[in-house]
Structure 1
Amino acid sequence: MHDPTETIRREQVKEINSDPNGREVLGAKHGEVWDTSGLQQKFVVLGFMAPYVIVARKSDGQKGSLMFQGSPRFYFGWSAD
């Protein structure tokens, strides 16, 4: 099955992971940032296609997406659907 977003996502993964940022830098760029433990506390993971993860917020069930970088693993850029 052809994924029309694959090329774009691969480029985003390269860009994000070529110069991984710490929590403070990501927070300044994207707002709230979560590590894996924080992600699990606040969200239910529904699926992922790097560099995106589809989630449902536990507090109200709102579905949306986050981006993530590989190492250090941080999740950021919450966007509600």
Structure 2
Amino acid sequence: MPDPTESIRRQRIFEINSQPGSREALEAVHGKVWDTAELATDFIVTGFLAPLVVVRRKSDGQKGSLEFQHSPRFYFQFQPHVG
């Protein structure tokens, strides 16, 4: 079954990973940034489809998505899911 998001995701993967940012650079653009250990502390990952992870925030159960870069692996740009 074709994935209608594949070309969009591939483009975003390229954009994120062509010049991966340091934690400080990502924080300046996206705000809060998590490494893998911090992600596991704050969220439960319920889905994965690069460059996105679907998560549930442990503190309040809010579902949402984060983007991530490959190396160094950082997660950023939490977007709550509505509805």
**Given the two structures, how large is their TM-score scaled by the length of structure 2?**
0.96
Query: In structure 2, what is the Cα distance between the partners aligned to 1:22 and 1:46?
Result: 26
State the Cα distance separating 1:2 from its structure 2 match: 1.1
2:17 pairs with 1:17: yes
- Which residue pairs with 1:46 in the alignment? 46
Q: Distance in 2 between matches of 1:16 and 1:79?
A: 17
Q: For 1:31 and 1:70, locate their aligned partners in 2 and report how far apart those are by CA, in whole Å.
A: 18
CA distance in structure 2 between the aligned counterparts of 1:36 and 1:22, rounded to whole angstroms: 14
Describe the superposition over 1:22-71 as per-residue Cα deviations: whole angstroms up to 9, x where unpaired.
00000010010000000000000001110000000000110000000000
Aligned mates of 1:31, 1:46 — CA distance in 2: 22
The residue correspondences of 1:1-81 to structure 2 (distance < 5 A) are: 1-81=1-81
5+ residue gaps, structure 2, are: none
The one-letter code sitting in structure 1 at the alignment partner of 2:24 is: E
Q: Which runs of 4+ in 1 moved over 3 A?
A: none
| TM-score, with length taken from structure 1 | 0.98
Cα distance in structure 1, aligned partners of 2:20 and 2:70: 8
RMSD: 0.4
> Gapped runs of 5+ residues in structure 1?
none
How many residue pairs match? The answer is 81
